[in-house]
Chain A
Amino acid sequence: MSLELKNVKKAYREPGGRQLPVLNIANFQMASGEQVVLVGSSGGGKTTLLNVIAGITTADEGDVLIGGTNVARLSEAARDRFRAERIGYVFQTFNLLPAFTALENVLLGMSFGGQKVDKSRAIDLLKQVGLSHRLNHKPAQMSVGEQQRTSVARALVNTPRLLLADEPTANVDSANQQTILDLLRKSCRDSGVSLLLVTHASEVANQFDRVEKLADFNRPQG
């Protein structure tokens, strides 16, 4: 699924009432099935950009076209549904629900869209990420690497067309970082899913064919 951003602007209101611009993107494009890494410094607006693309937050201005659908113009409920059905999101801090097992966390990934919950697919995905022995373990009973792999499985379970990954290896130990990265890239490649990964780590960025610097196309100050 292709991605195109046109004249996207986003600002936050500071406590004093002043506006703090975070995003000002004239144009950004990704082709369907492409894997792009976005590099930026901390506080540079990477997470905000991913949130705007995912529809978690709305841009103040501009268009966000995902597979031809302008997410920025959708109602909140429609954006939520679009996100549930078409977008996968891997968070920096995994964001697994502590009360749910690995399997249940993955099943949650398909519970909010219109599709039927397919337990066998969830189990298959967990097996693919090497967690067949952790199906009934809660996050507290898993290592950091296992939690992130669960998060990857959850992001893929609803067969998204676009996967967003926000610093997916930042909180993972070095031994697991490459595993996670390879897992993400292979899963997306095998399913034809577009991947947009943000990171500040050059060793991650260097593995991608297309590396974009956020600062090159985001000019929040104008």
Chain B
Amino acid sequence: MNLATIAWKNIRQRGLASSLTTVSVALGVMLMVAVLVIVGILESTFSQRSINFDLIVGAKGDPLQLVLSTVYHVSPPIENLPYRFYLDLAKDKRIDAAIPLAMGDVTEEGSFAIVGTIPEFFKIPYAPGENHEFRIKGTEFYQPFDAYIGTRVAAENNWKVGSKLKLRHGGAAGDHVHDEEFTVVGIIAPTGLPHDKTVYVHLDGFYQIQGHDKPLKEAIKREREFYGETPLTEDELAAEIKKIEAKYGVHDHSQDHGHEGHDHGHAHETPPVQKEVTAILLSCKTPIAAQLLAGELRKGYKAQAVNPIFPMQKLMNDILGPVKQLLVFMTGLIVLVSGIGIFVSIYNSMSARRREIAIMRALGAQRGTVFGIILAESIILCVGGGLVGLLLGHGMVYLAAPIVEVRTGLIINPLAFEKTELVLFPALFLMSVLVGFLPGMTAYQTDVAESLSNS
């Protein structure tokens, strides 16, 4: 019989004490694993890996809010920008691609964000590196009322290509469901990013929706105010409106003019002045171009350009990093306390086991052998508890994932494995050796004759 077998037998003999100490280690490790996995997922989600654009342009405000709302859809958008602003940016020679995004609505039942955009969005890989191209099961996204949906959206709503969907205005709390219907023409293959829980609708169709295009008068005033242009007089305004209506036709969705007899599903061209964008994603030709552009935008108008990495890094460093460290420290303390529990349990058992140690020595076991048996017991309890804790930790993440996703909008992969977990087992092994050392020395120093005679 080898050391491990003898140690295991001894552990089983003290079933209750052994179970309790193992459970305490398991609980500590479970918490630590859950913290590491969830924080790891958050770090990964909020890292550069989540977006493949150099700049996000939006209305002036909190850069973090801009990034969170544009990329992760977990924060309300700041303000809208005039569509003309996007058109001007798109012509800038320093820019490779400019993708407009219009946000603010959700799916009818309120769970998933709606983003209006253009087909070019899906031609650009969703993340840096290889094999991050969008893979769409369906057809091209080109009609005004076309929609692409992420896999989570498809799964939870049981939607497939051809399904119809409606938009709820203003977030899940909004009480107005638009009548316009979009048709799912494609399902986005899983990306592990917020795209999986997003509905992308064609920007042209987005503007067809009642209330999404501003009343002409208001739209013209807002645009001129944004650019710092002199307000028009009433006559000039009327003339401008007439010019626009002559070009694009009279079609005002902004008034609540009743739904009877009115076809909300038809498409028409919306005058640019009535369109607004929530954010613009920019891919620049060079990093320097991105920096210069960001600086220029910071100075003028009412817009800002944000490198998506920086606010997220700040979030990581200032908040998430310290929180992670604190949580890991606290769960580490729990594991340490459970290690002390194992020490106390084994050490206290040594006086009762003195005779057993002496018997083994009398049978020919050397001092090192009995020391090794006690050490083996400590290792089995610690590492065994750690293994159980690892499974429980991932189980906990698995169970919590749907709840976290619903509450925060973040995608949690319950099978995610954090590299730091690999450190756990060497650390547990080291702890078990430290914990088992003193009891092991007690066994080592057992006086065989005296212990046998006292039995």
Contacts and interface: CB of A to CB of B under 8 A. Distances in A.
Interface string A92-111: 01011111100010011101
B52 to A, nearest CB: 61
Contact of A112 (B12, B13, B366): B366
Nearest to A166: B452
Contacts of A56: 361-362, 448-449, 452
A103 to B, nearest CB: 10
B363 A112 contact: yes
Contact of B363 (A48, A76, A109): A109
A104 B365 CA distance: 15
Contacts of B355: 95
Interface stretch (A81-89, A191-199, A202-210, A213-221): A81-89
A64 B15 CA distance: 43
A111 B9 contact: no
A54 interface: yes
B2 to A, nearest CB: 8
Contacts of B365: 80, 84, 111-112
Interface in B365-395: 365-367, 369
A60 B10 CA distance: 35
A96 B13 CA distance: 14
A104 B362 contact: no
Q: Chain B's interface: helix, strand, loop or mixed, by majority?
A: helix
A98 B365 CA distance: 17
B358 to A, nearest CB: 8
B1 interface: yes
B359 to A, nearest CB: 5
B133 to A, nearest CB: 61
A117 interface: yes
Contact of B364 (A48, A81, A91, A104): A81
B367 A113 contact: no
A181 B97 CA distance: 99
A113 B367 CA distance: 13
B448 A99 contact: no
A57 interface: yes
Contact of B1 (A81, A93, A108): A108
A108 B361 CA distance: 11
Contacts of B455: 93, 95
- A81, A91, A104, A108: which has the most chain B beta carbons within 10 Å? A108
A99 B6 CA distance: 9
B364 A51 contact: no
B449 A97 contact: no
A122 to B, nearest CB: 10
B356 interface: yes
Contacts of A95: 355, 359, 362, 452, 455
A76 B359 contact: no
Contacts of A81: 364, 366
- A83, A84, A111: which has the most chain B beta carbons within 10 Å? A111
A124 B355 CA distance: 28
B360 interface: yes
B453 interface: yes
A104 B1 contact: yes
A2 interface: no
Contact of B13 (A76, A77, A98, A107): A98
- A76, A83, A99, A113: which has the most chain B beta carbons within 10 Å? A99
A67 B455 CA distance: 31
A51 B9 contact: no
A7 interface: no
Contacts of A112: 360, 363-366, 369
Given A107-B1, A111-B1, A89 B362 contact: yes
- B1, B361, B362: which has the most chain A beta carbons within 10 Å? B362
A115 B337 CA distance: 42
Nearest to A93: B455
Given A104-B1, A117-B1, A91 B452 contact: yes
A108 B363 contact: yes
A43 B355 CA distance: 20
B370 to A, nearest CB: 10
A132 to B, nearest CB: 20
19 contacts: A57-B448, A77-B367, A80-B361, A83-B363, A89-B363, A93-B455, A95-B359, A95-B455, A96-B359, A97-B359, A98-B13, A108-B360, A109-B363, A111-B1, A111-B6, A112-B363, A112-B364, A113-B364, A117-B1
Given A77-B366, A112-B363, 19 more contacts: A56-B361, A56-B452, A80-B364, A80-B365, A83-B362, A83-B363, A85-B364, A95-B355, A98-B356, A99-B9, A107-B1, A108-B360, A109-B363, A112-B360, A112-B365, A112-B366, A112-B369, A113-B364, A117-B1
Question: When A and B form their complex, which 8 residue pairs have the shortest distance between CB atoms, in order from nearest?
Answer: A84-B364, A99-B13, A112-B364, A57-B449, A112-B365, A95-B359, A80-B366, A99-B9
